[in-house]
């Protein structure tokens, strides 16, 4: 008996030692997940080879060969979705070759120079007018995908992971399903997003089995909503008709809530998103789903007293060189923090600044401020405006004079800051703190997702489904804030080249002359690039676009409906907006506008 106990003791010590050397040794989900990834990678490699063959078979004036290639691409994409959660999380760099955007993406705070490559590029080429003329490019892309897919198994050499990592990889994939897959972000022409979402969730279903058992308090609920989500996707495969709001409210968001509870109960939480995602939030549409503190400057002053001081200074005309202009002059709360003008009136009182005054609501949730993203924080933006001769024409001397006349400001500021900070920086920090507080999230759409399903009409619901589907609005204005923050990590803000016209007369379109971000970085694909703003509150913030040239939401949607500048026949080779017409009917346009009205917040006093 002592010998048996001794052997057992040695085995136990070895097991503990193995766990210390390899933290994933005792993690129950990793081994089956690796086995699943290995098998699905093999199937994806076969699909990639079939895609390569289908592309090779494309012939001039042979539409059937193109259709076959497109269908083969759909299957290849579906097979990719079965490994996406694992590949994107554990092998991010390797994943880039498969599913990158078909054009150079303009993303901040990082600048991208890598050549577009992968399945999205193939899709774009397969929908060119003369596909056969693009065969050389198609073969290059198909060869790159096939050769890389064939070597996916090699990534597992020496691979180690933990259950915490595995569960986080699945949490992020749920966000991709909710925001990207059902919106058709990856495959706007194929419209295979619903089938891809089902494949992604089926992969999670296979991998989560070790965690969904009788001992897991939330296991039954996760299993219920996961199988229900998959069934719903299979039962409603039509991309254009898919009821996204019903899918989200009835299946996907409850799944996300119970998934989060399962991870929390198992004490397996891990957050590698630099704190941007708040996993303690109920779901992605909860007001606290994104951590404001994770954005530039957000880690600074945010207390109630600091915000209140910032609010006072926001309305203070003494910050301007003529004691007449305040921040609220161009960002009026009564107009949802805009001024209702195409371009704001300049400091001289009669000329105008170059661009439209964007709403400040939700401005804190961005990685770049101003239309061209040139300011990296709200503090930098406030300082720029106060010093700009065309805007407030203030600066250090003006602010010092104000603090002398109104010493209460100086007293309050000194309580929060230190001597090494200039008065301009002090004021900027206070105003920025106030602007960061402008996140009401009380619109009817928010109320609907919080359970009050009576606040949206059938027309408005259809408008949301179009916004996130056929109209492709959700592929640039990402949920939940409907701005350029890119899921699932929300660590980038997209800028887009739309080809905005100089007026909303689309019968005689002409390109707007504003060069956008090109003025900041003289790189070709930055020409006419502008930040993607939130569409929350757009029903109250006309006119629209960076130049304020569009008077109505209907005109804006029609611009997109026509495919932007290139879709209307204007030359703009770096346009990132698809030039393909959306083919939205007048009723569909009305429905989208109706939905946008549900994003209008009530502004507190």
Distance in angstroms (rounded) separating the CA atoms of residues 164 and 440: 33
**What's the pLDDT score for residue 15?**
36
Distance in angstroms (rounded) separating the CA atoms of residues 564 and 559: 6
Do residues 497 and 564 make contact, with C-beta atoms less than 8 angstroms apart?
A: no
| Residue ranges matching CATH 1.20.1420.20 in the chain | 30-214
Q: Which residues pair with 550 in a beta bridge?
A: 544
**What's the pLDDT score for residue 11?**
38
Token readout for 273 is 């998103």
**What's the pLDDT score for residue 25?**
45
* Correct CATH for 30-214 of 1.20.1050.10, 3.20.20.10, 1.20.1420.20, 1.10.287.110: 1.20.1420.20
Distance in angstroms (rounded) separating the CA atoms of residues 602 and 537: 9
CB count in 10 Å sphere of residue 491: 18
Do residues 247 and 232 make contact, with C-beta atoms less than 8 angstroms apart?
A: yes
Do residues 360 and 435 make contact, with C-beta atoms less than 8 angstroms apart?
A: yes
Do residues 382 and 431 make contact, with C-beta atoms less than 8 angstroms apart?
A: yes
**What's the pLDDT score for residue 182?**
97
| Residue ranges matching CATH 1.10.760.10 in the chain | 294-436, 444-597
**What's the pLDDT score for residue 297?**
87
Binned average pLDDT, 10 residues per bin, the chain of 605 residues:
33 36 64 95 96 95 94 97 97 88 64 74 92 92 94 93 96 97 95 97 95 79 96 97 97 96 93 93 96 87 86 94 94 95 92 94 94 93 94 91 91 78 90 95 95 95 97 95 95 91 94 92 89 96 95 96 93 90 95 98 86
Distance in angstroms (rounded) separating the CA atoms of residues 224 and 258: 10
**What's the pLDDT score for residue 104?**
62
Distance in angstroms (rounded) separating the CA atoms of residues 568 and 555: 14
Give first-to-last CA distance, the chain, whole Å.
Answer: 78
Domain 444-597, CATH: 1.10.760.10
Global pTM value: 0.91
Distance in angstroms (rounded) separating the CA atoms of residues 208 and 38: 16
**530-531 and 106-108 beta bridge pairing:** unpaired
**What's the pLDDT score for residue 538?**
97
- Architecture label for domain 294-436: Orthogonal Bundle (1.10)
Distance in angstroms (rounded) separating the CA atoms of residues 276 and 317: 35
**What's the pLDDT score for residue 299?**
78
């Amino acid at each position: 008996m002592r010998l048996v106990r001794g052997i057992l003791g040695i085995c136990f010590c070895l097991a503990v030692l193995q766990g210390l050397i390899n933290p994933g040794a005792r993690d129950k989900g990793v081994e089956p997940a690796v086995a699943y990834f290995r098998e699905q990678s093999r199937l994806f490699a076969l699909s990639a080879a079939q895609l390569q063959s289908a592309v090779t078979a494309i012939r001039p004036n042979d539409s059937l060969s193109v259709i076959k290639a497109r269908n083969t691409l759909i299957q290849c994409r579906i097979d990719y979705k079965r490994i996406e959660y694992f590949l994107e999380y554990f092998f991010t760099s390797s994943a880039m070759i498969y599913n990158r955007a078909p054009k150079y993406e303009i993303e901040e705070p990082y600048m991208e120079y890598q050549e577009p490559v992968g399945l999205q590029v193939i899709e774009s080429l397969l929908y060119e007018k003369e596909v056969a003329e693009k065969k050389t490019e198609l073969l290059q892309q198909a060869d790159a995908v096939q050769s890389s897919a064939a070597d996916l198994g090699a990534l597992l050499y020496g691979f180690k992971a933990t259950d915490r990592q595995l569960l986080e990889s699945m949490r992020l994939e749920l966000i991709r399903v909710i925001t990207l897959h059902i919106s058709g972000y990856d495959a706007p022409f194929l419209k295979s997003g619903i089938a891809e979402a089902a494949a992604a969730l089926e992969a999670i279903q296979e991998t989560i089995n070790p965690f969904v058992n009788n001992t897991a308090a939330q296991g039954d609920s996760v299993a219920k909503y996961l199988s229900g989500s998959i069934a719903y996707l299979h039962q409603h495969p039509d991309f254009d008709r898919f009821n996204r709001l019903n899918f989200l409210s009835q299946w996907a968001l409850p799944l996300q809530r119970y998934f989060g509870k399962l991870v929390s109960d198992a004490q397996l939480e891990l957050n590698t998103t630099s704190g941007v995602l708040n996993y303690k939030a109920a779901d992605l549409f909860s007001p606290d789903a994104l951590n404001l503190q994770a954005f530039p400057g957000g880690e600074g002053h945010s207390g109630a007293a600091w915000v209140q001081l910032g609010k006072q200074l926001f309305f203070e005309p003494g910050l301007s060189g003529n004691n007449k202009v305040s921040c609220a002059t161009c960002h009026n709360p009564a107009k949802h923090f805009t001024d209702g003008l195409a371009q704001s009136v300049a400091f001289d009182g009669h000329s105008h600044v170059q661009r439209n005054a964007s709403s400040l609501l939700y401005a804190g949730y961005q990685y770049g401020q101003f239309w061209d993203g040139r300011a990296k924080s709200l503090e930098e933006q406030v300082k720029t405006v106060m010093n700009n001769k065309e805007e407030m024409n203030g600066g250090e001397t003006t602010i010092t004079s104000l603090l002398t006349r109104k010493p209460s400001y100086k007293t309050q500021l000194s309580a929060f800051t230190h001597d090494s900070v200039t008065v301009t920086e002090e004021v900027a920090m206070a105003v920025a703190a106030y602007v960061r507080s402008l996140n009401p999230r009380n619109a009817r759409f928010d109320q609907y997702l919080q359970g009050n399903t009576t606040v949206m009409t059938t027309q408005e619901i259809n408008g949301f489904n179009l916004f996130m589907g056929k109209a492709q609005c959700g592929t640039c204005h990402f949920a939940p804030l409907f701005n350029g923050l890119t899921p699932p990590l929300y660590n980038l803000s997209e800028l887009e080249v739309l080809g905005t016209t100089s007026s909303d007369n689309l019968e005689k379109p002409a390109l707007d002359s504003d060069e956008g971000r090109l003025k900041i970085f003289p790189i070709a694909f930055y020409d006419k690039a502008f930040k993607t703003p939130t569409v929350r509150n757009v029903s109250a913030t006309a006119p629209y676009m960076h130049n304020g040239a569009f008077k109505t939401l209907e005109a804006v949607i029609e611009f997109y409906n026509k495919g932007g500048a290139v879709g209307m026949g204007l030359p703009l080779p770096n346009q990132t907006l698809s030039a393909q017409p959306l083919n939205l009917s007048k009723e569909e346009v009305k429905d989208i506008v109706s939905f946008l009205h549900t994003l209008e917040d009530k502004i507190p006093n």
